[in-house]
Structure 1
Amino acid sequence: MIELTDLTKRYGDKTAVDHLTVTVRSGTVTGFLGPNGSGKSTTLRMILGLNAPTSGTVTIDGRRFIDRPRGLRHVGALLDAQDIHGGRSAVAHLKSLAVSNRIPLRRVGEVLDEVGLAEAGRKRIGGYSLGMKQRLGIAGALLGDPPVLLFDEPLNGLDPEGVRWVREMFQRLAKEGRTVFVSSHLMSEMEHTAERLVVIGRGALIADETLADFSRRGSKAAVLVRAPEAAALAAILTAEGAEVEDAATAAGGLTVLGLTAARIGELAWRNDIMLAELATQNASLEKAFMELTADAVEYAAGEAR
């Protein structure tokens, strides 16, 4: 379990992390989301003692990470897959980590096999692709068989098979009772991977809840309607107080906010309008994220002209 209590980090007059209080629970995959510049990487570095907080505390299972002399036995982390000596082989790199943390050397072969790098283990890391470096970084995080795991953008550079493998691995580790904390900008992957979300913007907490609750809270319920007399139906629904837009996904389609599918069907029936389609759209994590973090985006692109 990771506990952040009133965690704050300032660089001069800029606040990178702002009084963040969060508990990351064991036995679940927790996604860590936020716009670029929101303070995610700074938070992860403070958890690992790489950056000192300006104020507040962060503990892992009740202790600061820097107070653990053999850290990889307690916490495994991948922060930057490129931050590694390219002249070494993967075997040499992992052996150095194992020796310094008193981890049995047999674990080197085990984790290389687990991440699919057994045959490339003696090749120089400088010749690895980004996806291979990501796999090596994951191997390093798993080396000490730790109860707590942190990953910063672990899917960068992975092919679809690699993405699926990482997703299944995270879920397996969580089922084993471990704490799995994953920072990512890929909303679609968090929908398939995480059970809980911690969302921050400008360093401050926006949400700490299940993925399903977050999606529902941030995204209005929408109904897709398709009808031959779409214009007439739109006028009726607008008169009832609904927000109606043309649906880009279907000819003659409308996206309706503010009325249930049952009420739309009733209004169409009363006005002798035939419906070709009537469906409630699923809540979207990406839409919820964009809505709830709209005021916390530090670098926003302008509208196309």
Structure 2
Amino acid sequence: MIEVNQLTKRYGEVTAVNGLTFTVRPGCVTGFLGPNGAGKSTTMRMILGLNRPTSGTATIGGRLFARHRTGLRHAGALLDAGDVHGGRSAAAHLSALAHSNGLPRRRVGEVLREVGLEGVARRRVSGFSLGMRQRLGIAAALLGDPPVLLFDEPVNGLDPEGVRWVRGLFRRLAGEGRTVLVSSHLMSEMEHTADRLVVIGQGELIADESLAEFAARGTGASVTVRAADPAELATVLSQAGARVRQGDDGALIVTGMSAARIGELAFERRILLRELAPRTASLEQAFMELTADRADYRAPALAGDAR
């Protein structure tokens, strides 16, 4: 488990992370989202003890990561795929990590096979593509078979097959009961990969909830309802605080109320429902709306861009 409690990091007058508190639990994939400059990488580095917080704490398994004597047995991380000596081979790089953490030599071959790099184990990393370097970084994270794993933008440079593979890998790791935290700016990846989301902006927490709960925050979230007496149902729902409009096909489009609550109200008034279909907003739409005032860098809108 990863526990972040009132974590703050300042660089002079700039506050990169401000009073951040959240918990990443085992058994699910947690997506870590935020606009550029939100403080995601800084937070991950503090979790791993690479940056010292100004105040607050970040622990892995209830302890500061720096206090774990053999770090790779407790947590594995991919933060920067380019942070590897180009003159070393993939096998030599992993062997050095294994030796420094007291890990058996056989783990090098095992993780290289797992990430698909067994055939290039003796090649120098300087000749690797970005996607191959990402796979090597994932191999390093898996080397100690740790219960906690952190990945920063892990799909950068991967081809479609690699993206599909890494999604499956994260799902499997979470299914084994591990704690998996994945930082990404790709909303489509989070929709396919994450179970929960931690969303930050300008170093502060915006959301810590399930994927479905976050998407439901978007203004595009609605419920389509068809009823035997739509006029009566519209009145009932409006009186209960929902916003109701009639669609072009006669169905009621309801916002501001869950499908479950609509069903309860219809049952209480004995109104027959013929359709009750939630329509969630896209994750991207919810993200853009909730982080609109937290983005440090924004280009001017293009002419004709309706978004």
Q: Same fold (TM over 0.5)?
A: yes
* Aligned pairs, number: 269
- Distance of 2:53 and 2:41 partners within structure 1: 13
Q: 2:84 aligns to what?
A: 84
CA RMSD of aligned residues (A): 2.6
Deviations 1:5-54 (A, max 9, x none): 00000111111001001011011100000000000000000001110000
Give the deviation of 1:301 after TM superposition.
Answer: 1.0
Q: 1:243 to 1:157 in 2, by over 3 A?
A: farther
- Distance of 2:256 and 2:42 partners within structure 1: 43
Q: 1:293 aligns to what?
A: 291
Q: 1:237 aligns to what?
A: none
SS at 2:103 equivalent: coil
Alignment of 1:27-38 (within 5 A): 27-38=27-38
Deviations 1:272-304 (A, max 9, x none): xxxxxxx97442101000000001011011122
8 Å CA contact retained: 2:20, 2:205: yes
- Distance of 1:280 and 1:42 partners within structure 2: 37
Segments of 4+ in structure 1 off by > 6 A?
241-244
Identity across the alignment (%): 69
Q: 1:107 aligns to what?
A: 107
Q: Is residue 171 of structure 2 the alignment partner of residue 174 of structure 1?
A: no
SS at 1:119 equivalent: helix
8 Å CA contact retained: 1:17, 1:39: yes
The residue type equivalent to 1:295 in the other structure is D
8 Å CA contact retained: 2:220, 2:280: no
Give the deviation of 1:218 after TM superposition.
Answer: 2.7
Q: Is residue 7 of structure 2 the alignment partner of residue 12 of structure 1?
A: no
Q: 1:243 to 1:79 in 2, by over 3 A?
A: farther
- Distance of 2:141 and 2:302 partners within structure 1: 42
Deviations 1:135-168 (A, max 9, x none): 0000000000000000000000000110010000
The residue type equivalent to 1:49 in the other structure is G
Deviations 1:227-280 (A, max 9, x none): xxxxxxxxxxxxxx8799xxxxxxxxxxx78599xxxxxxxxxxxxxxxxxx97
Q: 1:205 aligns to what?
A: 205
The residue type equivalent to 2:178 in the other structure is R
- Distance of 1:218 and 1:77 partners within structure 2: 32
TM-score, reference length from structure 2: 0.82
The residue type equivalent to 1:99 in the other structure is H
- Distance of 1:181 and 1:298 partners within structure 2: 23
Q: 1:125 to 1:281 in 2, by over 3 A?
A: same
Q: 2:141 aligns to what?
A: 141
Deviations 1:72-119 (A, max 9, x none): 010000000011100000000000000000000000000000000000
The residue type equivalent to 1:14 in the other structure is V
- Structure 2 residues not aligned, in runs of 5+: 225-242, 247-252, 258-276
The residue type equivalent to 1:173 in the other structure is L
